Amino acid sequence: MTFTIPRGTQDILPEDIEKWYLIESSAKSLFKLFNFREIRTPIFENTDLFARGVGEESDIFNKEMYSFKDKGGRHLTLRPEGTAAVTRAMIQHNLHKKMNPLKLFYIGPFFRYERPQAGRYRQFHQIGVEYINEKSPYADAEIIALGYHLFESLGITDLKVCINSVGNAIARPVIEEMVKQFISANLSKLPTHIQHKFNDNPLRILDSKDESVQAYIAGMPDIKNALTQESKDHFFSVLQHLDEMKIPYEVTHTLVRGLEYYTETVFEIVSDHLGAQNTVCGGGRYNNLSKELNGPDLGAVGFGFGIERTIMLLDHVKKEINSSIDVYLIPLDSLSRDHLFYVMHKLRGLNISCEIGYSENLKSQLKKANQIHAKRVIIMGEEERNKEVVEYKDMFNRTQESVPLDKIVEIVNNDFAYNQVIFA
Ligand code: HAM
Is 262 near ligand 1, meaning CB less than 6 Å away? no
Q: What confidence tens digit (pLDDT) does each residue in 55-81 have?
A: 888 889 889 999 999 999 999 999 999
Q: What confidence tens digit (pLDDT) does each residue in 8-47 have?
A: 999 999 989 999 999 999 999 999 999 999 999 999 999 9
Is 331 near ligand 1, meaning CB less than 6 Å away? no
Nearest CA to ligand 1 atom 31: 283
- Ligand 1 atom closest to the Cα of residue 60 is 3
Q: Which residue has the higher pLDDT, 213 or 252?
A: 252
Which pLDDT value is given to residue 423? 37
- Label residue 39 left, alpha or beta by phi (over 0 means left) and psi (-120 to 50 means alpha): beta
Distance between CA atoms of residues 175 and 198, nearest Å: 13
Is the pLDDT at 421 greater than 60? The verdict is: no
For the chain, how big is the Rg over CA atoms in Å? 27
Rounded to 5°, angle at Cα 23 from 19 and 24: 115
- Ligand 1 atom closest to the Cα of residue 128 is 30
Nearest CA to ligand 1 atom 20: 120
- Ligand 1 atom closest to the Cα of residue 305 is 7
Ligand 1 center to 386 CA (angstroms): 63
Distance between CA atoms of residues 247 and 154, nearest Å: 16
Ligand 1 center to 159 CA (angstroms): 17
Q: What confidence tens digit (pLDDT) does each residue in 298-357 have?
A: 999 999 999 999 999 999 887 777 788 999 999 999 999 999 999 999 999 999 999 999
Are the beta carbons of 91 and 294 closer than 8 angstroms?
yes
Q: What count of residues does the chain have?
A: 424
Nearest CA to ligand 1 atom 8: 306
| Mean pLDDT computed over 109-113 | 98
Nearest CA to ligand 1 atom 30: 303
